[in-house]
Structure 1
Amino acid sequence: MEQPMTINEHGFTDPYDAARARSFGSSLLNILLMAIRPQTLVLSVVPVMAGSYWAWATHATVSSAVVICAIVASAAIQIGTNLWNDVKDGMRGQDGTGRLGPPRMTALGLASPKTLRLWAYAAFGTAIACGLVLVAIGGWPIVVIGVVSIACGLAYSAGPRPISFSPHGELFVLVFFGIVAVAGTYYLHTGLVSASSIGLGAIVGLPAAAVLLVNNHRDRISDEKAGRRTLAIVVGRKGTHLLYGAMMVLSVVGAALFLQPHGWVGWLAMAVPMVVAVWFTLGFRKEPVSPRLNAYLGRTGSFQLLLAVSIAVAVGFPN
């Protein structure tokens, strides 16, 4: 591994702080794990599982090859996007020692941009490799989905107008980590794109978008100084609190309207995530902008998983 460098006013010119490196572990594997942010990868897995479940529930069909390749491809795109984001923000001189969120390896000088960029390419390459299997199953629509997904992953932090600098990040997540992932997986299993798969994708995508909203709310001060106009900055503190609550609660309301559960088991399955959604919303509103908001990243991601499981319980399984 090449010598990592820290950023100062002259660029990447000074050796990294050894004490800081030891605090995270100096092995390449540990540094990569920190940059990948594995605790967020549930956002890639849940939509694929939701789309697979819906294919099973509505058509009693599911392909293990599709499940495995879709999960790996989806997670690889997210990993590549995270690594690319780490590199680009680090090279801009952002997200250094004063960062409130999880540490970024490039900005802290624990890995060079070249190293993480190569691993980002490897992640996108893995997604392409798995995507070729999916293309053999689903044809040209999967080519379009794959190309656009990878392009957006790169454009999230790069280019003249990065998505991460705009108010459109949450919409990007809703579309690609919700609608596209669920409906695309459903299509791979069934050969169809139904209104119900699109609706389920929107429902599952709302908590994923809420995760990014929490992230942008936490970083609102540093982001605004860096010239960003994220949704959290545009709508303000109170607007962010309201929007987070709306995303969480509407995902459950949408699921209930979508499923129209029958019997007490179905309604109980919907009541559990509703209670959790309200609980998290109230807690999020009370939390000041601080590193303590990081807990809501994991909690909101776990809520997405809870919602998906609750939907499965409410609908049941085919005979």
Structure 2
Amino acid sequence: MSDDTISRRRAWLMAARPHTFPAGISPVVVGVGVAYALGVFAALPALAALVGALLIQIGANFANDYYDAINGADTEEREGFTRVTQAGLIAAAEVKRAMYLAFLAATVVGCYLVYVGGLPIVVIGLASIAAGIAYTGGPFPFGYHGLGDVFVFLFFGVIAVVGTVYVQAAAYAPAFPLTPPTGTLPTAAFVASVGVACVSTAILVVNNVRDMETDRKAGKYTLAVRIGYTWSRVEYVALLVVAYLVPCWFVTHGFGYAALLPLLSLPLAASVARTVCRYDDAAHLDPALTRTGRTLACYSILFAVGLAL
């Protein structure tokens, strides 16, 4: 195997951004925990939801890499993880093609989920793919207009968790329902989704705080650029506080004290929060970004286990 081959494989891995995968996997994990607790766990829909979520995550990462480069948001001044299009490691046309292939693969997986969940899954799937592209592409890239946090909260939190619970519960109903069958959208799914949504959004906050100055120069007005360092840090801490209050709701609604297991990840979250509140350079915030992702993974696994218990 030549060095060029190894370099190319590494470049594609960098473009896929595996450090962001917890944002795609964690909602499905929590959705499985909720479904198990409610007695509607279904293995095949859960697996399909996981694969579909990862494919959409990868497609969105390719889209961000491509559109940030051609829109001029990624420059040589940008700190943080390397963007392969801007760095010239992979041609822009190839990254764009890979984006479409990832979304196509997600659509193929989604066909089974559509059979199980019906028309609601068609709406969710198309909206997720469209949002993944529109985050940095299209005539109004909402990641450039301070709406990225809302996007992550909804699609990598609320919709992902509730959708995972839905396809499992819908597996016990007739195939291809036109509207959600009774009992497939439980309140517990929505409440659990808030915790995941908050920590997922916190990942984006770290990323945007790190890139604040270069984003401002490039005309990319993320929420962090709009509200500044202080309020971005307030947002980060507030998101974590809400996330760790969510398990308390489950204890007060009959799920037992095992639902408090996510609190075991609180020391990690507090440690990362201290870093985010003190520093704004890539040397500190790149590790903080990774550690926030680990916090999300730990939180979600513990939450799912606690709910299942």
In the alignment, the residues of structure 2 paired with residue 101 and residue 56 of structure 1 have an alpha-carbon distance, to the nearest angstrom, of 39
- Which whole-Å CA distance do the structure 2 matches of 1:183 and 1:132 have between them? 18
| 2:235 paired residue among 217, 239, 243 | 243
The alignment status of 1:280 with 2:260, answered yes or no, reads no
Letter of the structure 1 residue corresponding to residue 198 of structure 2: L
CA RMSD of aligned residues (A): 2.3
- Aligned mates of 1:298, 1:24 — CA distance in 2: 28
Structure-2-length-normalised TM-score: 0.89
Moved more, 61-70 or 127-136: 61-70
Number of the residue aligned with 1:41: 21
The match for 1:108 is 87
Q: Which runs of 5+ in 2 are unaligned?
A: 171-183
Residue aligning to 1:31: 11
Could you list the runs of 4 or more consecutive aligned residues of structure 1 that deviate by over 4 angstroms after TM superposition?
22-26, 261-265
**Contact 1:249 / 1:277 at 8 angstroms: preserved in 2?**
no
Q: Which amino acid aligns with 1:53?
A: G
SS at match of 2:280: coil
Distance 2:259 2:52 in 1: 34
Shift of 1:84: 1.2
Aligned to 1:106, the other structure's residue is in SS state helix
Q: Which has the higher contact order (CA 8 A, sep 6+)?
A: 2
Task: State the distance in 1 between where 2:255 and 2:57 align.
Answer: 38
Equivalent residue for 1:159, pick from 127, 138, 144:
138
CA distance in 2, matches of 1:270, 1:233: 31
| C-alpha distance in structure 1 between counterparts of 2:227 and 2:191, whole Å | 26
Shift of 1:37: 0.3
- Residue 301 (str. 1) matches residue 293 (str. 2): yes
- Shift of the 88–48 alpha-carbon distance from structure 1 to 2, 3 Å rule, reads same
Closer, same or farther: CA 29–23 of 1 in aligned 2, 3 Å = closer
> Which of the residues 222, 229, 234 maps onto 1:230?
222
Tell me how far 1:158 sits from its aligned partner. 0.8
36-45 vs 308-317, greater mean Cα deviation = 308-317
- Residue equivalent to 2:181: none
Q: How does 1:1-319 map to 2 (within 5 A)?
A: 27-59=7-39, 61-191=40-170, 192-260=184-252, 266=258, 269-317=261-309
Deviation per CA, 1:103-152: give whole Å up to 9, x if none: 01110111111111111111001100000010011111000000000011
1:194-250 Cα offsets, whole Å, 9 max, x none, are 111011111111100000111011000011111122111122111111110111121
In structure 2, what is the Cα distance between the partners aligned to 1:147 and 1:114?
Answer: 23
Q: Is the 8 A contact 1:249 1:274 kept in 2?
A: no
Stretch deviating more after TM superposition (48-57 or 250-259): 250-259
Structure 1 distance, partners of 2:259, 2:89, is 49
Decide which structure has the larger Cα Rg and report it: 1
State the SS of the aligned residue for 1:146. helix
Cα shift at 1:296: 1.3
Deviation at 1:176, TM superposition (A): 0.6
1:175–1:202 Cα contact (<8 Å) kept: no
Match of 1:6 in 2: none
Q: CA separation in 2, counterparts of 1:239 and 1:261? A: 33
CA contact (8 A) 2:30 2:300 kept: yes
Q: Which runs of 5+ in 1 are unaligned?
A: 1-21
1:54-104 Cα shifts (integer Å, max 9, x gaps) = 111111x32221122111111111111111111111123332332211001
Report the identity percentage.
32
